[in-house]
């Protein structure tokens, strides 16, 4: 509670996440501390404040997602977490609380199997390479590509190849 950090997008409709404002606030808080007198407790307090803010936003955004899921498809059967988020014990507790609130189990791998997403992607790439499952690199990346493969062409409007 030492550092008052923002909760980006908390309370807004929808499920979009953005931690950019939170990251900037952490940087500003760190720079506001006395230079040359930065103590371990300062680092611990700043990290705890960041973690609390991230947990609040995560629960809010996922709560909206669970509501949207319920409205479209009915009651969910589980809340699933993986990667670095599932490795963080505080964030896992936040997710467990949300899952209990929605009366669904939290499905998360054991902590030893929760690694950084980049490491998981690299491992998947290694597995594919060993099986000679490679692709040409001549594709046009689309950073805003819809997740729905049946999305109408209008969903691609404004997306540059």
- List, for residues 54-112, the tens digit of each pLDDT value: 999 999 999 999 999 999 999 999 999 987 888 899 999 999 999 999 999 999 988 88
Distance of alpha carbon 67 from alpha carbon 57, whole angstroms: 15
pLDDT confidence of residue 160 = 47
The two structure tokens encoding residue 117: 């997403």
| pLDDT, tens only, 15-69 | 888 888 899 999 999 999 887 777 889 999 999 999 999 999 999 999 999 999 9
Distance of alpha carbon 109 from alpha carbon 95, whole angstroms: 13
pLDDT confidence of residue 158 = 54
Contact status, residue 117 vs residue 124, Cβ threshold 8 Å: no
Cite the DSSP H helix spans in 1-131. 20-32, 40-73, 83-87, 89-101, 117-130
Q: Mean per-residue pLDDT for 121-145?
A: 83
Question: In which region does residue 6 sit, left (phi positive, over 0), alpha (psi from -120 to 50) or beta (all else)?
Answer: beta
């Amino acid at each position: 509670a030492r550092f008052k950090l923002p909760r980006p997008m908390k309370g807004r409709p929808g499920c979009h996440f953005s931690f950019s404002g939170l990251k900037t606030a952490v940087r500003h808080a760190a720079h506001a501390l006395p230079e040359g007198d930065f103590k371990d407790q300062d680092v611990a307090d700043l990290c705890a404040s960041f973690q609390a803010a991230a947990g609040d936003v995560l629960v809010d955004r996922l709560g909206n997602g669970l509501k949207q899921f319920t409205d479209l498809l009915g009651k969910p059967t589980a809340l699933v977490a993986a990667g670095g988020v599932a490795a963080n014990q505080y964030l896992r507790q936040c997710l467990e609380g949300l899952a209990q609130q929605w009366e669904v189990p939290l499905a998360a791998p054991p902590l030893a199997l929760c690694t950084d997403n980049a490491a998981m992607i690299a491992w998947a790439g290694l597995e594919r390479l060993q099986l000679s499952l490679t692709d040409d690199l001549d594709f046009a990346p689309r950073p805003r590509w819809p997740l729905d493969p049946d999305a109408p062409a209008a969903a691609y409007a404004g997306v540059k190849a």
